[in-house]
Structure 1
């Protein structure tokens, strides 16, 4: 007979109850059946495991050795079974992804990809114009990931302890009515827009300062700058009241065109952030890879820009870099 874990449980039950009769009752077995099983175990191990008399059953030296090993093996096996059950159960429980975004151009496509790849996942989104608010929510465990952008080589604040990774980097473009005198050009010099009024979405990042610095380098100070939501920006540009800076993957709108700024005076880095000590950190690399796929999806409506990226490998999705 080969010794099995169930045999060790029998030995432990007899030792714990001090009686074969009581052990049989605890294990739900008939006393003669348990006695016969104990005898088979003893034959396998080569000697008696208990001294039995009217006072009960007491372990022999061999019995003490077997008990010492059983008290290590049985909890270890129980722990293995519990851990395996938790892992198997976790595979069946829907995952939860809580995203926060600051005017992110890929959030919709990222959610679409995750939902398609993990149909049971629970996905929620939260919008804010404040990078600090999103970082604080991630740090506090109320969000899992933040999608935001920064100018040039800047990085989001390290105040909240988040880990940030780059998804992609794009030149900042200008959004014009297709009737604008400069709309027929492939590139527009920033200085040629010095007489324009501007419109921008709100935010607490450095973009406003970076834009002002770029205008100063071009030799002018921007005129009035409206601040409104994205739809308001589109309406103001469409009305010919202002021009706007926009991301390269801005969805095409009838009557409007996007044009690159000559010399690329402004760059926009799309970033994904998470807290390294959170449970979300375990899936961060997968989410980052999915975000990059979502960015690639966003290029489909922009074949001209995609061709430009192929000629300019310093933009788009670059080699992984930690920040």
Structure 2
């Protein structure tokens, strides 16, 4: 006889009840049937699991060993079943678009485009600074699509589970207050900003390390970097407290300008990811096309980026 989960449940029920009679009642069995089942289980496991006495049953050493394992296995299997059910339910078709992304104009543009193109279809969102969290939620079925960015050529998270397609690749620009001496330039050499404080949004990728390396190549180490939310970054730039790093598609904002860095020492890849076994896979081409469209819209709104794209490189 092969040992099954129901046998472990029987052993646990007998131990919890303390007698075969009480266990049989709890399991909805006749006591003779439970006794016969227990004997079959004991033969399969190689020895007695319980000592029978006038006051009930008590686990033997083998019984204690099996019970210890059962108390680990049974909750684990129960949890697996519940998670699998939730997983299947979240990936049922017709649930709309469940998007996860980091903060930025591209994510908002994608939501807008999907809502406009598919009226009546729900679009729900989850935003966080953690690309890993978004990818994990997509991998386990809590999200349909992940729209994240990676610095340079670094691999996206959960790359062994998710399909990733590159939506676009942008240079990283610098944000300057409109009164900054370099605000009127077309491109700015990173070395000219050596004495500045900096501000940037957080993340769990390698961007901070890549920025430090770019500064080192330019001959300096940043004196201070304020890592904070977008609104605070903008404020720190507007009041002249810091210069900021941003994606080239950052929208026009009063009191500040965005300018490319000479030689494009940093760039950002926008990626769309999804699970290949999920129902969302069937709509991936549609979502990807809308993401590309949202990026094109964001580029068109940025005069500094469109000028940079139009200029011959090296000019």
Tell me the TM-score range normalised by the shorter chain.
Answer: 0.5 to 0.7
Partner of 1:296: 296
Q: Distance in 1 between matches of 2:159 and 2:301?
A: 37
Cα offset, 1:232, TM superposition: 0.5
SS in 2 for 1:299: helix
Q: Which residue does the alignment assign to 1:142?
A: 142
Matches within 5 A, 1:29-40: none
Instruction: Give, in whole Å, the separation in 2 of the partners of 1:304 and 1:194.
Output: 22
Aligned with 2:300: secondary structure? coil
1:307–1:193 distance in 2 versus 1, CA, 3 Å: closer
Which consecutive residues of structure 1, in runs of 5 or more, have no partner in the other structure?
1-92, 314-323
CA contact (8 A) 2:135 2:158 kept: no
- Structure 1 runs of 4+ off > 3 angstroms? 310-313
Equivalence for 1:265? 265
Whether the 8 Å contact between 1:128 and 1:134 is mirrored in structure 2 is yes
- Shift, 1:295, TM fit: 0.7
Query: In the alignment, which residue of structure 1 is the partner of 2:240?
Result: 240
Whether contact under 8 Å (1:136, 1:160) holds in the other structure is no
**Structure 2 counterparts to residues 1-323 of structure 1, below 5 A:** 95-158=95-158, 161-311=161-311
- Structure 2 gaps of 5+ residues are 1-92
CA 1:304–1:162 in structure 2 vs 1: closer, same or farther (change >3 Å)?
same
C-alpha distance in structure 1 between counterparts of 2:207 and 2:273, whole Å: 18
CA positional deviation for 1:310: 4.2
After TM superposition, give the deviation of residue 201 of structure 1 in Å. 0.9
Shift of 1:301: 1.8
Following superposition, the deviation at residue 304 of structure 1 comes to 4.3
Aligned counterparts of 2:114 and 2:312: Cα–Cα separation in 1 = 29
Rg bigger for which structure?
1
1:282 partner SS: helix
Q: How many residues align?
A: 221
Q: Distance in 1 between matches of 2:252 and 2:153?
A: 27
Cα distance in 2, alignment partners of residues 104 and 235 from structure 1: 16
Deviation of residue 160 (structure 1)?
5.6
1:156 shift after superposition: 0.7
Cα shift readout 1:152-191 (whole Å, capped 9, x = no counterpart): 1222134561111100111100000010111111111101
Question: Could you say if the C-alpha distance between residues 284 and 128 of structure 1 is closer, same or farther in structure 2, counting changes exceeding 3 Å?
Answer: same
TM norm structure 2: 0.67
Q: Could you report, residue by residue, the CA deviation over 1:68-121 in whole angstroms, capped at 9, with x for unpaired residues?
A: xxxxxxxxxxxxxxxxxxxxxxxxx95510111112321111111111111121
Equivalent-residue separation in structure 1 for 2:312 and 2:150 (angstroms): 20
Q: Distance in 2 between matches of 1:241 and 1:222?
A: 14
Aligned equivalents of 1:308, 1:227: Cα separation in 2: 27
**Matches of 1:292 and 1:256 in 2, distance apart?**
27
CA distance in 2 between counterparts of 1:242 and 1:227 reads 11
